[in-house]
Amino acid sequence: MHKTFFTALLAAGISTAATAQKPAANTPKTYSAAGRRVQLYTTASGTQQRLATGAALSFQPVGQPLETQPTVFVDPTHTFQTLLGIGGALTDASAETFAKLPKAQQQELLQAYFSPTNGIGYTLARTNIASCDFSSGSYTYVQDNDKDLNTFSVKHDEQFRVPFIRQAIQAAGGKLPLYVSPWSPPAWMKDNNNLLQGGHLRPEFRQAWANHYVKFIQAYEKLGIPVWGLTVQNEPMAKQRWESCIFTAEEERDFVKGFLGPTLKKSGLADRKLIGWDHNRDLMFQRASTLFDDPEASQYYWGLGYHWYETWTGSAMQFDNLRRVHETYPSKNLVFTEGCVENFKLDNVQDWALGERYGNSLINDLNAGTVAWTDWNVLLDETGGPNHVGNFCYAPVIGDTRSGKLIYTNMYYYIGHFSKFIRPGARRVAVASSRDVLQATAFLNTDGKVAVVVMNSTEKEQPFQLWIKGQAAQTTSQPHSIMTMVVQ
């Protein structure tokens, strides 16, 4: 069925130019929807619709809507942040699973993720510096006690990960902004002498650790993999069974302003985007205030990264914390750096709630000011791994290494409703819904097309109108569905 989906896309001549990397045009002073057409793309539970093309809609003059008329209002003359990209993580686990697939399925996967015409057009990627939980085992790039990093080598990565990333870049048209994140310094640099179980970076190794980021970036770039940015530390407040390292807000601030920031600058890497925090939304305001209220540290930070796992406490996703950071530090960029659904079960890969979690996060994160959004592993095997501590999770695509087949979950399609139609350089525009059933976001692309994403996570069908400055187009949101409406 998935090949049929690709064939349909090609037949429809859908194109969201991969070259749309140029800065967005200025906010339009006026905008009229009169005479414009709206193309619909829908993914809906209980149907065969997966990014399915629907009948085009037309606008008609409609004045003041009544309270009884469910409406999604869009105003392209009010614009906000510019989107940099949407993508996923190219981890060891993804690369190792990819290597076990037949060549035909490898090519299908690359097209499915990175082609803007035959797939969902990912334009951003993340990878790990040394091992993480989604590696087959723990490893480092330097020998013990080599503080001068003379033994530094990324040879481990050249077996699976480097070839995989290279192919992803090629499939994306030769350009795929990549940022990199460490899970832990080498054990001998830490006060617990362990890659795992948290611990802190020893003060005497702060310079050596700063040099380590530079060595990694330089090694990858020598292998033909440009590095766009980096985060300071993955999940710096989590003591985990896997690779982890604790940085309090003050420790991160002082490490960046005293060591990492100056070292990047001295090494000619000052233009690489440095991202702080890289952990959950719950504590992000406190981290932002500590990092950004210190001018000496703040000068090195491009933005703040965050994950969605604050839900482990029983909390809902805390989107208001994003808004607090964005309104307090509007010059800093917000980046969603990781999210996945945990506790993998192969029998549940078609659970519809998986995709709805993604849709809910994407809509609210983008509406709160986020400029880039990165899923976790792009590919995992039939166990939800490989993972060396048994922390198995879901991925949008599962590669069954027993049969060689690819399993597309609805997460893949839900992400695609954003990544395929909201392209780099697009600017978020004002959107408001008169019904909470209809969650929505909207962007003005550089080609002048407006992409409106509307999600309905209820059991209820909801007719509504898309209303733009006195013109409206009528449609219906199906139960448990997501739709992208492209105003031509």
Set 96, 252, 338, 356: catalytic member: 338
Active site residue 221: no
CA distance 43 to 23: 30
Asked if residues 380 and 412 have their Cβ atoms less than 8 Å apart, the reply is no
Beta strand 124-129 with 397-400 is unpaired
Phi, psi of 449 (to 5 degrees): -80, 140
Helices H / strands E in the chain, number of each: 12, 22
Angle between helices 2-12 and 103-114 (to 10 degrees): 50
Q: Give the separation between CA 51 and CA 102, rounded to whole angstroms.
A: 26
Strands 57-58 and 37-44: antiparallel
Environment class of 355 (CB within 10 Å of its CB; exposed 0-12, middle 13-18, buried 19+): buried
**What DSSP string describes 141-155?**
SS-TT-TT-TT---G
What would the DSSP string read from start to end of 362-412? Answer: HHHHHHTTEEEEEEEESEEETTS---TT---B--SEEEETTTTEEEE-HHH
Catalytic residue, chosen from 96, 235, 243, 310, is: 235
Exposed/middle/buried for residue 35 (C-beta within 10 Å: 0-12, 13-18, 19+): exposed
- Catalytic (active site) residue 338: yes
Residue of 74, 65, 66 lying closest to 32 (CA atoms)? 74
Residue 375 and residue 395: Cα distance in Å, rounded? 9
Beta bridge mates, 241: none
Residue 279 has phi, psi (to 5 degrees) of: -145, -165
Q: What are the E-state strand segments in 245-346? A: 273-280, 303-307, 333-338
Catalytic residue numbers?
235, 338
